[in-house]
Amino acid sequence: MAFSKTEAFTDVDQKLALWAKALSHPARVAILRELAQRNACICGELVANLPLSQATVSQHLKVLKEAGLISGEIDGPRICYCIHWPTLEEMENALNRLFKQIKPCC
């Protein structure tokens, strides 16, 4: 029986790859750090705290949101972003399960 390329991987494999891709840029890591440190929703302050333009920050926020790592709430004309803690917990659990299955070689 032949599988498509994506069918050959588990849902967890695909989620881990999505999260890894979202974390693959240092600006997105910095955005997550900023949100986690404040432990609150942040609207416009992200741009002021990062050496990036509004458009660039918006693109990075989009990637993080598509990966489920952050959520956005509409507050008037602005969108405020927060860490989506259940997804981060799911990612942590998936990584722990993955690495518990791997035996160290060195």
Q: How confident is the model over 79-92, as pLDDT tens digits? A: 889 999 999 999 99
pLDDT at 8 over 90: no
Q: How many CB atoms lie within 10 A of CB 46?
A: 21
Residue 2, token pair as written in the block: 């032949």
Question: Where do we find the tokens 């926020």?
Answer: 61
C-alpha closest to that of 78 among 44, 28, 35? 44
Supply the pTM of this predicted model. Answer: 0.83
Domain 23-99 has CATH 3.40.50.300: no
- Model pLDDT, residue 29: 96
Q: Where is pLDDT greater, at 35 or 106?
A: 35
* All residues at 6 or more sequence positions from 53 whose CB lies less than 8 Å from its CB, including other chains: 47
- Model pLDDT, residue 7: 72
pLDDT at 1 over 70: no
Q: How confident is the model over 20-79, as pLDDT tens digits? A: 999 999 999 999 999 999 877 887 788 888 899 989 999 999 999 999 999 988 877 788
Question: Where do the domains of the chain lie?
Answer: 23-99
Residue 79 CA to residue 73 CA, distance in Å, equals: 5
